[in-house]
Amino acid sequence: MNTKPNQTHIRWIMNRMPKTDDPWLHVMSIEEAGKVRAFHRSFPQYSETPLSNRSAMARKLCLGGLFIKDESYRFGLNAFKVLGGSYAMASAIAEALSRDIAETDYAYLTSERLKEEFGQAAFFTATDGNHGRGVAWSARVLGQKAVVLMPKGTVKARFDNIAKEGAQVSIEDANYDECVRRACALAAQTENGVVVQDTAWAGYEHIPAKIMQGYATMAAEAAEQLIKAGHDRPTHVFVQAGVGSLAGAIAGYYANLYGENCPKIIVMEADAADCHYRSALAGDGSMRIVTGDLNTMMAGLACGEPNPISFDLLRNHADCFVSCPDSVSADGMRMLAGGEGDAPMVSGESGAVGTGLVHAIMTDPSCAELKDALGLNEQSVVLLFSTEGATDPENYRRIVGE
């Protein structure tokens, strides 16, 4: 355990939180994942995103393999979040009509029959950019409405991307967590208003669980692609956490898929919003909240309140929690852009933190204790998720160059 910053200002702790009876593990079951994948495959825009084999970097880092799931290709939206938003919206419509999700595919959701049977709803959400863009895109494609609230400090490019999808979008004078509360209040005042938020709280668990299930498509694709690359499973999975929905989804799905042979799950956060790390540091199983402006360039991770559904999955199935400064992500962005002997890859601020962290663990002597604790060596097969491309082009150029 290292609870003090090392030379690269990385803090970490192995998971010693007491386990629960795992009440949410079923949400990420193989059966549910199958329904999700069938739904996503019904979209004409669907195709598997690439799993990039970073073989040259793996050799340099003395790893058995290093693979990165590149979500910059997802539905043409430059990020993975649309997987959760679209599935949750479809599920809400299906349930309102007492239909099975298997019967609520793209063809039905875009049909005249849906307009007659359902009409139109307004889907409300708060976002740093990627989730809101996914909700806005899904609403436009499916003939629904979207209202999106963004936290202060949001860059214009992310605002514009959502506005281009036809959503009603605003930048609020508030942080992400307060924007969530405002979105809920607006939805409550709106006829057919539905909150599609990728975090949960008491009384609001169903839709967040559907969003998490939506991420199973990405996890399942990666597992199958890894087999095609010659590896039965990863030994280590590094996954980012803001509210923790993605991290919990990945941990839960792989726990169901691999069982007792599950890879080690390492959860990464921005140090300005490291609520999961602080919760793990306390060690009592209760969630800790980070308040304030949550200033980090990793906008997708700038969330100070954990999703209790995913938090429960992580306290049961995560092995380590790591708090990372922005410099770790910036290093990862530059390494992927340069290729390091592999094909160049565009990864944004929230997408590249895994690459930067793995590089630091394997090369920085001050990370030796963490390397040993995780058992990272020449037999290790590491899986990362580049969750976004250059969603802030100006900052990407500032860090990486032209």
Catalytic residue list: 81, 128
CB within 8 A of 109, min separation 6: which ones?
Answer: 90, 93, 142, 143
The residues that bridge with 79 in the sheet, in sequence order, are 388
Phi, psi of 322, rounded to the nearest 5 degrees: -130, 135
CB within 8 A of 353, min separation 6: which ones?
Answer: 240, 268, 270, 298, 301, 324, 328, 329, 332
Instruction: State the residue for tokens 């693979």.
Output: 67
15, 63, 89 from 214: Cα distances, Å: 26, 31, 10
Instruction: State the residue for tokens 């599609």.
Output: 196
Phi, psi of 269, rounded to the nearest 5 degrees: -135, 160
Both tokens of residue 11?
Answer: 């803090």
- Report the distance separating Cα 43 and Cα 46, nearest Å: 5
Q: How many CB atoms lie within 10 A of CB 394?
A: 11
- Report the distance separating Cα 298 and Cα 242, nearest Å: 9
Torsion of CA 224, 15, 17, 310, to 10 degrees: -30
CB within 8 A of 336, min separation 6: which ones?
Answer: 68, 344, 345, 346, 347, 352, 355, 386
The residues that bridge with 14 in the sheet, in sequence order, are 320
Both tokens of residue 283?
Answer: 């060690």
Both tokens of residue 140?
Answer: 């436009």
Q: What is the 3-state secondary structure (H, E, C) of 309-365?
A: HHHHHHHHHCCEEEEECHHHHHHHHHHHHHCCCCCCCCCCCCCCHHHHHHHHHHHCH
3-state secondary structure of 268: strand
Instruction: State the residue for tokens 């933190």.
Output: 353
